[in-house]
Amino acid sequence: MSSALKLGIAGLGNVGTGTVELICAHGDAFPSRTGCGVEIVAVSARDRMKNRAIDISPYTWFDDPVEMASADDVDVFVELIGGEGGVAKAAVEAALKAGKHVVTANKALLANHGVELARLADDNAVALNFEAAVAGGIPAIKTIRESLLANEISRVYGILNGTCNYILTRMQKEERPFAQVLEDAQHAGYAEADPSFDVGGHDTAHKLSLLTTLAFGVETSFDTIYVEGIESISLADIEAADELGYRIKLLGVALRTDSGIEQRVHPTMVPKNTAIAEVDGATNCVAFDGDFSGDIMLIGPGAGAHPTASAVLSDVLDIAKGGVLPPFARRTADLKPYRRARMRAHEGGYYIRLSVYDRPGAFAAIAGRMADEGISLESIVQRRPPSALPGIDAQLDDGTPLPVVMITHKTTEAAIRAALEKIEQEGNVNEKPQMIRIEKL
DSSP secondary structure string for all residues of 191-254: S-SSTHHHHTTHHHHHHHHHHHHHHH-B---GGG-EE--STT--HHHHHHHHHHTEEEEEEEEE
Distance of CA 144 to the CA centre of its chain: 16
Burial of 188 (0-12, 13-18, 19+ CB in 10 A): exposed
Q: Coil, strand or helix: which one is 178?
A: helix
Residue 204 to residue 245: CA distance in whole angstroms: 25
Q: Where do the H-state alpha helices sit in 347-434?
A: 362-372, 413-426
**324: Cβ contacts below 8 Å, ≥ 6 apart:** 101, 125, 126, 127
Catalytic residue among 6, 89, 107, 207: 207
Task: Verify whether residue 207 is a known catalytic residue.
Answer: yes
Q: Using an 8 Å Cβ cutoff, are 15 and 46 in contact?
A: no
Residue 320 to residue 35: CA distance in whole angstroms: 7
By annotation, the residues acting in catalysis are: 207
